[in-house]
Structure 1
């Protein structure tokens, strides 16, 4: 099962129409685009999907659209996370997860739990889930850090906790995790700028934002890193770094939606409290793609 989630995963955006309804046509187009580009699996309803602004029915419809569009060609992961453990346990037990192979669950935000609280939260989710669970550590958003010791403890005690998406940006912490995690436990980069360094240190891959915008070249970079072609992988990493900076300059997913718009996939619309990317940023992204990645 773990090998299903190695290489390039992408955290899909949720496209919106002019009246800010979910644009299912654009979503199907996006799924086709990234599969044709060679990505290895898709993550649905993560942070990049603006899941915090989608209601229950919209989430159900997004899951169904992606599952039908993917048609079993690559594995699908669904984001189910929050800061109310009891409600999440109930959601995991009752949600229709047909077509999905794993759950990505973010560490509880706002509450700022202790490491013991984080451990008990994920242990409760693992007990409730019939699918494998991938932890998600993103301290800049949650306000607390899942320390390596806590992730390792969960990996050792819960057979269905199979990995962690690490977006702390702390390479020393990630290295400690890679060196001490049980065999088979995946450490996945959750940050495009750390993807290649993490893989070269032994990481399983990345769950990427940029990867859905330029799936061909991004997947190529990750494949080279995983096969040990460090010079080629780091060369592509350096080439793409300015584009990554642009994507996050005005917040995520505004930047990646601006990039996808230049590819003819959906619009750059986002729901409040986020705002659409500026025209200057979209133009800068378009210029970069044209001048630095011609034909890509």
Structure 2
């Protein structure tokens, strides 16, 4: 399964480019994505107004309903979770391990279990320790997986270390592990991940979907070389802060009206864009 955390395109006037967002969402679902993620970090949600966040959610929910595709929504507190009730397209909330505070494993578990108890939809934990500064052991991840209302994890460990191997070597039953490190997608799939939530899949969506299918089918002749090529593409797309390079490439391809991002992000450099376009051509041939 492949979920794409959708960017928020902006027009020349700085406003959200709604037609481009709708067209992009349709393209991703027809291109091979299982579903979409609304208001993930790739969408720059902190820079959006409350009204913009509401309208992004409504638009992506409508597109997912049309395609009968699931929608995951970034939501990190009870107020953000509350608005997800009575929205049939929304299948889960993507909730980040608390960043910066470093509350320890017990604090993380208590916080996410409390959120899950309050949420109208199941939770997918977003674990990205190199951004949150809060590592979790395999034992802690298994405790979260045992919580009935927590049904999956966006797993972005940053490295393949013994805790990662231990967690994936003993996968929790009825629990979905979605790779969140785009560059590490192929090795995480090889270790047992079920799919991914991948910003890189704005580009070459069908290729990322094919890579997931190949690993699940045990087709190593396809999975290994394709995984190497797509890892190079993901590395190029994350050479500057996400989603700046992805937006630059989408704009260069005529899919969004500008490459603009909102502060504190700055647009990707021309050099990084040119490299990404070259790697994209190599990765998809």
1:166 pairs with 2:155: yes
Does the Cα contact within 8 Å between 1:210 and 1:256 map onto a contact in 2? yes
Match of 1:188 in 2: 178
Give the CA deviation at 1:51.
Answer: 1.3
Residues 169 and 191, structure 2, Cα contact 8 Å, conserved in 1: no
Measure, in 2, the Cα distance between the counterparts of 1:97 and 1:227.
36
Aligned equivalents of 2:196, 2:80: Cα separation in 1: 26
Tell me the distance in 2 between the aligned counterparts of 1:261 and 1:196.
Answer: 27
In 2, the alpha carbon distance for the partners of 1:24 and 1:187 equals 31
Q: 1:23 aligned to 17, 24, 28, which one? A: 17
1:92 and 2:87 equivalent?
no
Distance 1:40 1:230, change over 3 A: same
> Which residue of structure 2 lines up, in the alignment, with residue 78 of structure 1?
73
Hey, what does 1:268 align to over in structure 2? 259
Give 1:33's aligned residue: 27
Counterpart residue number, 2:124: 134
Q: Considering only aligned residues, what root-mean-square deviation do their CA atoms show, in Å?
A: 1.6
Name 1:84's counterpart in structure 2: none
- Return the offset for 1:95: 4.4
What stretches of structure 1 of length at least 5 have no aligned partner?
1-6, 82-87
After superposition, residues 140-289 of structure 1 pair within 5 angstroms as 140-156=130-146, 158-172=147-161, 173-266=163-256, 267-289=258-280
In the TM superposition, residue 285 of structure 1 has moved relative to its aligned partner by: 2.1
Which deviates further from its counterpart, 124-133 or 281-290? 281-290
The whole-number CA distance in structure 2 between the counterparts of 1:122 and 1:274 is 29
TM-score (norm 2): 0.93
- Looking at structure 2, the residues matched to 291 and 197 of structure 1 have their Cα atoms a distance apart, in angstroms, of 20
- CA positional deviation for 1:24: 1.1
Aligned residues: 281
What is residue 50 of structure 2 aligned with on the other side? 56
Equivalent of 2:41 in 38, 41, 47: 47
Gaps of 5+ in 2: none
Q: Residues 220 and 139 from structure 1, CA distance in 2 versus in 1: closer, same or farther, beyond 3 angstroms? A: same
Tell me how far 1:104 sits from its aligned partner: 0.6
Shift of 1:38: 0.9
Distance 1:116 1:286, change over 3 A: same
Give the structure-1-normalised TM-score: 0.90
